[in-house]
Amino acid sequence: MHSHTDYLWFDTKKRHELVNITDRVAGIVAASQVQEGLCLVSAMHITAGIWVNDEESGLKHDVMEWLEHLAPAGDYRHHQTGEDNADAHLKRTLVHHQVILPITAGALDLGPWEQVFYAEFDGCRKKRVVVKILGE
């Protein structure tokens, strides 16, 4: 068995952003030399998520608008602590904060349109994603 761990750092320019990280994750998979296995990609900060979907600008706009509709910025109890980002915690919950990518024959085994996005909902600060690979 072989394991491999790496971290991706983000510091987005905008508060809300979808960053396509497919190539970066593929690079970590290649570095791991794992041929058959599972690759966890998980946002370590609780106001960001990981989203697997289409690299299409209209859809990316749609999903962010829709998340704002379902989990709007506004007044929350969490803000009594001095924070202003409760909606980002909720948006991360909807998108989910992690994904497991299968590795087959040494590469990410993705569907034809599957792309992996880091979904930032409270950006403009340094944040981390863990990539953990287990396999052979």
Q: Which of 28, 51, 40, 22 is nearest to 121 (CA)?
A: 51
- Rule CB under 8 A: choose which of 32, 92, 117, 123 binds a second copy: 92
Residue from the set 31, 102, 124, 125 that interacts with a second copy by CB under 8 A: 102
| 3-class DSSP state of 99 | strand
Are 102 and 126 in contact by the 8 Å Cβ rule? The answer is no
14 binds a second copy (CB under 8 A): no
* Residues 6+ positions from 7 with CB-CB distance below 8 Å: 44, 128, 129, 130, 131
**Integer Cα distance of 49 and 122 in angstroms:** 11
Q: Which range of residues in 8-16, 18-26, 61-69 is near a second copy by CB under 8 A?
A: 61-69
Stretch that binds a second copy, among 15-23, 25-33, 52-60 (CB under 8 A): 52-60
Summarize as ranges the residues that interact with a second copy (CB under 8 A). Answer: 1, 3, 5, 36-38, 40, 42-46, 51-54, 56-59, 61-63, 66, 70-71, 76-81, 86, 89-90, 92-100, 102, 104, 109-114, 128, 130, 132, 134-136
